[in-house]
Amino acid sequence: MKVVKFGGSSLADGPQFEKVIQIIAADSARQVIVTSAPGKREKSDTKVTDLLIKYAKLTLMQKNATEIVQTIFNRYLSIATYFNLPEAELIPIKEALVNLPHRDYPSTDYLMAAFKAHGERLNARLMALILTHLGINARFIDPSEAGIRVTDEPNNASVEPSTYAYLAALSYGNEKLVFPGFFGFTDAGQIATFSRGGSDITGAILARGLNADLYENFTDVDAICAADPRIVNNPLEITRMTYREMRELSYAGFSVFHDEAIIPAIEAQIPINVKNTNHPNLPGTLIVPESQFEPIRTITGVASSNRFAALYLHRYLLNKEVGFTLKLLQILYKYDVSYEHMPSGIDDLTIIFDKSQLDEQTIQAMLHDIQETLQPDQLNWIDDYAIIMVVGEGMRNQIGVIEQIIAPLAENKIGVHMINQGASRISIMLGTRQADSKAAVKQIYNQFFVNEPISIS
Ligand SMILES: Nc1ncnc2c1ncn2[C@@H]1O[C@H](COP(=O)(O)OP(=O)(O)O)[C@@H](O)[C@H]1O
Ligand SMILES: N[C@@H](CC(=O)OP(=O)(O)O)C(=O)O
């Protein structure tokens, strides 16, 4: 059995739905379908998830939302109309949308999560209706029915392990099961979503919980490329890569697959095949365990992300002071802030944060506490921080990789603030200014893929 997830771009309108249905019908093993919310039909379009966020904000401001409700509903209606599905069949979808503001929510965060989740929840309902209308035996399954349990973090939830026992007990025949991606339910029965792009996570959870042979993830590119195609022109396509390469690259900017979605697949050792809905016969990218991978290049890919900020702290004899880092981490804990990386020297320390969890007030309060408690000689907040991740199983036994990365950056006057090589030795992380990150990716890509196409002997 295969779990097949379709991203927002694959479900943006009627013609895209038609391609998806052909893909589902082409292989009887494609039994478990995961839908995202309808995405962008063209570049300037707005994803349904973003329309729902606007709807939630209007509701919170107690403003009239009739127009946005109609805009959202029209996205579903136009898809239904494409398949000649009678409008009457969409009444439950309209009602669910209209009723969203009238349900009880424990907080505004949970209200936001419930609104956002309805992009996928209603799209999965619509997909099941259309499949049935076309004579394909299909059933919508809500995460509440399937037992997808998540943590009490309304807009950034993680899966609870109990989910897998519920999924193992799910009984089904030979019909297609249509699940909405992106959300689950807390123990208290509230909707909580994963972080943005999180329908990939639902697909991976179902693949593990339902014991799939393969997790197919359909998107709008032929394969995962060695660099983001929005940064590098026509980058090389990756045919095969490992789970941990994918995790590091998606963490650092390969938004094509969510970094957290790798974990359930690793836990159950299920291969992931990223494919293009518009060219389903192409092989795409296969993501596999290390044991099934033989590197042919030093580098598999290079990614960048501007979502970071860093705190630089200098104090002489830092290396001799017992408990210094503990006190620092206690301050982060007090403000409920997690950190991403902490490279250090003898007298200094840099802490790198994901900015999406921080606001100006928290940053200022945290800095104040650090100054008071730890009395550093120097304390700087660096808001302009990007991370470049150079990843490849093939670099493990290679000498001189760092030099090859740094040389073109130095030649092009791109400053590197930090270099960190992970203990796994399959990735090297660089810190740069945000304005330099794209140029750095281009230079590193050229060095490894254009100037020296294959480096491993
Ligand atoms: N390394 C990469 N290879 C391919 N696509 C990438 C890469 N990095 C970023 N992307 C972007 O990811 C997009 C697909 O992800 P996303 O928009 O989330 O798709 P979906 O709507 O299918 O969920 C591509 O259109 C591409 O612009
Ligand atoms: N619809 C959600 C979840 C998701 O995975 O979407 P997409 O498949 O379009 O990346 C979002 O926009 O974040």
Same domain membership, residue 147 and residue 46: yes
Ligand 2 centroid to 199 CA: how many Å? 6
Give residue 139's domain range.
2-220
97 in a domain, yes or no?
A: yes
Ligand 2 centroid to 312 CA: how many Å? 34
Q: Tell me if 286 sits within 8 A of 214, measured CB to CB.
A: no
What does the pLDDT average to over 149-163?
97
Min mean pLDDT across 3-7, 123-127, 441-445, 450-454 is at: 450-454
Can you give the CATH number for the domain in which 55 is found? Answer: 3.40.1160.10
277 in a domain, yes or no?
A: no
Residues 313-330: pLDDT tens digits? 999 988 888 888 999 999
pLDDT value for 345: 85
230 is in an annotated binding site: yes
What DSSP designation does 33 have?
E
Residues 371-423: pLDDT tens digits? 999 999 999 999 999 999 999 999 988 889 999 999 999 999 999 988 988 77
272 in a domain, yes or no?
A: no
Same domain membership, residue 305 and residue 191: no
27 in a domain, yes or no?
A: yes
Select from 391, 197, 183 the least CA-distant residue to 287: 391
247 in a domain, yes or no?
A: no
For ligand 2, atom 9, name the residue with the nearest CA.
Answer: 8
**Least distant ligand from the CA of 197:** 2
Q: Which residues, in sequence order, are CB contacts of 346 under 8 Å at separation 6+?
A: 318, 319
Q: Which long-range contacts (CB under 8 A, 24 or more apart) does 262-267 make?
A: 262/204, 262/287, 263/204, 264/159, 264/201, 264/204, 264/205, 264/207, 264/208, 264/209, 265/204, 265/207, 265/208, 265/215, 267/208
The model's pTM: 0.93
Ligand 1 centroid to 182 CA: how many Å? 17
User: How many CA atoms lie less than 13 Å away from 313 in the CB half-sphere?
Assistant: 23
Answer yes or no: is pLDDT of 454 > 60: no
Same domain membership, residue 322 and residue 179: no
Within 6 A (CB) of ligand 2 lie 7-8, 36-37, 39, 47, 49, 119-120, 181-182, 196-200
Ligand 2 centroid to 34 CA: how many Å? 11
Domain boundary among 220, 240, 263: 220
Tokens encoding 40 = 């962008």
Q: Tell me if 283 sits within 8 A of 318, measured CB to CB.
A: no
pLDDT value for 407: 95
Same domain membership, residue 78 and residue 168: yes
| Residue tagged 């009490």 (tokens) | 152
What does the alpha-carbon distance between residue 296 and residue 420 come to, in Å, rounded to a whole number?
A: 24
414 in a domain, yes or no?
A: yes
pLDDT value for 456: 52
Tokens encoding 232 = 């590098």
What does the alpha-carbon distance between residue 251 and residue 185 come to, in Å, rounded to a whole number?
A: 25
Within 6 A (CB) of ligand 1 lie 7-10, 36, 39, 197, 219-221, 224-225, 228-230, 254-256
Can you give the CATH number for the domain in which 443 is found? Answer: 3.30.2130.10
Q: Please state the atom number of ligand 1 nearest to the C-alpha of residue 199.
A: 23
Answer yes or no: is pLDDT of 80 > 80: yes
Share of residues in the chain with pLDDT > 90 (%): 90
215 in a domain, yes or no?
A: yes
Answer yes or no: is pLDDT of 44 > 60: yes
**Least distant ligand from the CA of 120:** 2
Residues 237-264: pLDDT tens digits? 999 999 999 999 999 999 999 999 999 9
At 426, is the secondary structure helix, strand, or coil? coil
Same domain membership, residue 50 and residue 155: yes
Same domain membership, residue 310 and residue 210: no
Looking at the structure of the chain, the number of domains it has is 2
pLDDT value for 424: 76
Domain boundary among 192, 220, 248: 220
Instruction: Provide Rg for the chain, Cα atoms.
Output: 23
Q: Please state the atom number of ligand 1 nearest to the C-alpha of residue 238.
A: 3
Same domain membership, residue 191 and residue 305: no
Its ipTM equals 0.98
Q: Tell me if 238 sits within 8 A of 285, measured CB to CB.
A: yes
197 is in an annotated binding site: no
